[in-house]
Copies of this chain bind each other. A is one copy, B any other.
Amino acid sequence: MQVYEAPLRDMKFVLHELHNDDGFGNLEALEEFTPDLVDAVLEEAAKVAQEVLLPLNRSGDIEGCTVENGGVRTPKGFKEAYDLFREGGWCALASDPEWGGQGLPEQVNKMTEEMICSANLSFSLYPGLTHGGTTAMEAYASDELKQAYLPKMVSGEWSGTMCLTEAHCGTDLGMLRTKAVPQDDGSYKLTGGKIFISAGEHDLTENIIHLVLARMPDAPAGVKGISLFLVPKYLPKDDGTPGEANGVSVAAIEHKMGLKASATCQLNFDDSVGWLVGKPNKGLEAMFKMMNTERVSVGIQGLGVGEAAYQSAVWYAKERVQGRSLSGVKNPDGPADPIIVHPDVRRMLMTMRAYNEGCRALSGWVSRALDAEKFSTDPEVKQRAEDFIALMTPVVKAVFTDLGFETANLGVQCYGGHGYIAESGVEQYVRDARIAMIYEGTNGIQALDLVGRKLPAHMGRYLRSFFHPVSQFIEANKEHETFGKMIEGLEKAFGALQLSTATIAEKGMKDPEEAAAAATEYTRLLGLVAMGYCFAKAALLAQAKLAEGSEETAFYKAKITTARFYFDRILPQATAAFLAIKSGKASMMELEADAF
């Protein structure tokens, strides 16, 4: 059964307690957003997720989207849910108040994103893509375009898309063929086909604003000849309301493994009127602006689905009775004990729990940097925040989505045979979570971004924004009375990460394939160390709270246990990653293509 209650206590722990000393400034610095207000927002978001979006998750999966009369019909209830969502102001949560947004801190926004993704990943894409679009527009669009489009997009009245991929090119956008021909009035006419366009067409909003990568006639070949254009589905009339159709049509919607309530469209642009966003031939830069925003959000999708899978598995493990506990009967009045008593079921549940809490803690840290980047007035803090975001974006995207998928699979495994049956609702999490490892740049591409761009940038400066706090923490707590062994484990993994970094830098300088061959394992290693650091901090903090006499003993004790489990059972993966990195590229690359 799809069971979900927003993990508010853990969210508040991450928001208000865990990262207060990270030097990115406190929520309080965002003046009006007091902890009480923030908590109230989270509680309201939880209601929307649980009461409006969750009930549509499985029905949406079953019904899917359909093409009807050239438009796309979303599943029953989605339109009503979207209207409620929009009217509640949830589309505009983190957007700039200048355009009607509520300007909430990213820390709060990302937590609500997690809830929405837990409740209904397919739904999350409709407002999610719009948010990516408005981010790019805020940074690059002309004032005229901003005025005409941003208020309606921010409010959610109109939605947005990102039209990058074509059938023959995804990762390698340099090959794209969509044409943009300049017109006398300063507009362009776009012609070409795009695929995999999330929310490319649907019945939730009265207009859809496409941000389209295309090539001008005289553009240089490759990635240096790509520009970004805004192309509305309907051209706004003088009064700003949608007017005539703009030659954008749906060729088909994709039949996907999951995410079925999200309309993934093949779009054709046929002399569609568009306007340049940003400078000519600098489309990739603007695209990366929205892409980077989206990448953190896609990481959160992994976490969101993972949390839902975890809660559904916990529910089942308490409900389903099968066999008896090895340590003596636990449910003497029943025919068997609930399966949560069995160590191997515990192993799965604790793994899921540790992944989720680890990802949430790290996401909270990254979100604080997102806020500091936006709002800090201290240039040094701002710079450090930017560095940290640049470093962590590929890690959050790749590691969270890998772990989210693993968690979804463990959820199915907890259900046994019943998990393989659609009615259980948990196999949907596997199918839905699978896409997050692929879109917005495959996880392999994230890893290459990390080792190829982020590590070497500014002589390794990005990495320092992460290495400094971790090494300081280890130094300060090495001899910790209770958690000394845990800190030792962190130190060892951190040492492996430092050594791996040096190895990659050294080998990669001579041979970039060496760096690329280590990329995926390095990304995982960095993620593991970052989550380990968060867990160690959390354990120390929880212990201090208990020592202070906090009444929330169950919460803080569970936090310590989960941290211990992470160090016992998850962090050892770091050793495997380190050994793999050390082995180099030889055996990976030496086979001739013909030998495969």
Residues of A whose CB lies within 8 Å of any CB of B are 165, 169-172, 174-175, 195-196, 254-258, 314, 317-318, 321-323, 326-327, 335-336, 338, 340-350, 353, 405, 409, 412-413, 416-417, 419-423, 427, 430-431, 434-435, 437-439, 442-444, 447-448, 511-513, 516-517, 519-520, 554, 557-558, 561-562, 564-565, 567-569, 572-573, 575-580, 583-596
- Contact of B437 with A417 in the complex, beta carbons under 8 Å: no
**CB–CB B196/A417 < 8 A:** yes
Q: Which of B323, B405, B516 is close to A172, meaning CB atoms less than 8 Å apart? A: B323
Contact partner, A434, options B350, B412, B516, B572, Cβ 8 Å:
B412
Describe A's contact surface by its main secondary structure. Answer: helix
Residues of B within 8 A of A327 (CB): 511-513
**Bound form: Cα–Cα A430–B579 in Å:** 28
The CA-CA distance from A514 to B519 in the complex, in Å, is 36
| Beta-carbon contact of A343 and B172 below 8 Å | no
CB neighbours of A195 from chain B (8 A): 417
Complex CA distance for A314 and B512, rounded to whole angstroms: 23
Q: Out of B321, B412, B587, which one reaches A569, CB within 8 Å?
A: B587
How far is it, in angstroms, between the C-alpha of A577 and the C-alpha of B577 when the chains are bound? 13
Given contacts A416-B171, A421-B254, A596-B318, contact A591 B558 (CB under 8 A): yes
Is A340 within 8 A of B593, CB to CB?
Answer: yes
The chain B residue with its CB closest to the CB of A417 is B196
Collect the chain B residues with CB atoms within 8 Å of residue A317's CB. 596
Q: What is the minimal beta-carbon distance from A59 to any residue of chain B, in angstroms?
A: 14
Report whether A569 and B583 are in contact in the complex, using a CB–CB cutoff of 8 Å.
yes
User: B520–A344 contact, CB under 8 A?
Assistant: yes
17 inter-chain pairs at a CB distance below 8 angstroms, sorted by A residue, are A171-B322, A171-B323, A172-B321, A172-B323, A255-B421, A318-B593, A326-B516, A340-B596, A343-B589, A346-B588, A348-B444, A353-B596, A412-B434, A412-B438, A558-B595, A569-B583, A569-B587
A565, B593: Cβ atoms under 8 Å? no
Q: Chain B residues with Cβ under 8 A from A519's Cβ?
A: 343-344
Whether A438 lies near B423 (C-beta < 8 A) is no
Residue in chain B with minimal CB distance to A588: B346
List of B residues within 8 angstroms of A517 by Cβ: 343-344, 346-347
Assess whether B430 is in contact with A596, with CB atoms less than 8 Å apart.
Answer: no
* A572-B575 in contact (CB<8A): yes
Closest to A350 in B: B588
Q: Please tell me if the beta carbons of B595 and A344 are within 8 angstroms of each other in the complex.
A: no
Taking A413-B443, A416-B442, A572-B578 as known contacts, 12 extra A-B pairs with beta carbons closer than 8 A to each other, sorted by chain A number, are A171-B416, A257-B420, A318-B593, A327-B511, A344-B516, A344-B517, A350-B591, A412-B438, A427-B434, A569-B583, A575-B575, A575-B576
